[in-house]
Amino acid sequence: MLNTPSVKVILFLYDRGEARYADLLKLIPSRGTLSIILKELDEEGLIKRRVVASKPIRTYYSLSEKGRLVAGLLKEVKQIVRNVH
């Protein structure tokens, strides 16, 4: 569960603060999968999207307040799992 693509994106953004789509694509190499994940996280209110109208257009993603709370809890769970083994 803790290694699902959605959790990877949440924790990546938690550690990074903000990331471009291209950065997230390095984490999740399938454009289709990444797009679905970002859409679902956005619908859940876990991420924020910022578009910079330049050439080329740049899109940045970061965690919402709710997303930061969830990411903090996920980090705690990962630490507990790591310590139990």
Edge-to-edge strand list for the sheet holding 58-63: 18-20, 58-63, 47-52
Contact 68, 18 (CB under 8 A): no
Structure tokens at 74: 């996920």
Domain 5-84 has CATH 1.10.10.10: yes
**pTM, entire model:** 0.88
For residue 34, give the H/E element and its range. Answer: helix 31-43
Read off φ and ψ for residue 45, nearest 5 degrees.
Answer: 75, 25
- pLDDT string in tens for the chain (85-residue length): 778 999 999 999 999 999 999 999 999 999 999 999 999 999 999 999 999 998 888 999 999 999 999 999 999 998 888 888 6
